[in-house]
Amino acid sequence: MKSTTEYFWFNSPEHRAYINITDNVSKVVAKSGIQDGLVLVSAMHITAGVFINDDEPGILEDIDEWLEGLAPMGEDYQHHNTGETNGDSHLKNILVGHQVIVPITKGQLDLGPWQQVFYAEFDGQRRKRLMMKVIGE
């Protein structure tokens, strides 16, 4: 079994952002030389997510509005007694999930035609980290 680990930093100017990182994942896999295996793509913060969906601006707006409806910003969360203001960002992280596994076949990401990997920032304007670990042969 071979493995490769890489870290990426984000610092989004927006409070919330949805960033297509599919090319980053592809490059890490290509560099690893792994032909068959899995790559874990995992946010290292509890106020960010990673998901796979369509890179269509309308659906990304829909996702953002929907998340805001189900886990609204500015509610009176208990977490805010610590001085934090990002309770909603934690809930959005749980709803979306913070990691995906992308299969690798013949050295390529084995994704469907519309599947793109997104880093979802739910509490931006600060440095946040994501990791990728490729394992396989």
Please identify, using beta-carbon distances, which residue of 12 and 93 lies nearer to a second copy. 93
Amino acid at 118: F
d(CA 135, CA 5): 9
What one-letter code names the amino acid at 38? Answer: L
Residue 114 Cβ vs a second copy, minimum distance, rounded to whole Å: 5
74 contacts a second copy (rule: CB under 8 A): no
Q: Give the span between the Cα atoms of 62 and 37, in whole angstroms.
A: 33
HSE (CB half, 13 Å, CA atoms) of 26? 12
Binders of a second copy in range 82-111 (CB under 8 A) = 82, 87, 90-91, 93-101, 103, 105, 110-111
120 contacts 96 by C-beta, under 8 angstroms: yes
The residues binding a second copy (CB under 8 A) are: 1, 3, 5, 36-38, 40, 42-46, 51-54, 56-59, 61-63, 65-66, 70-71, 77-82, 87, 90-91, 93-101, 103, 105, 110-115, 129, 131, 133, 135-137
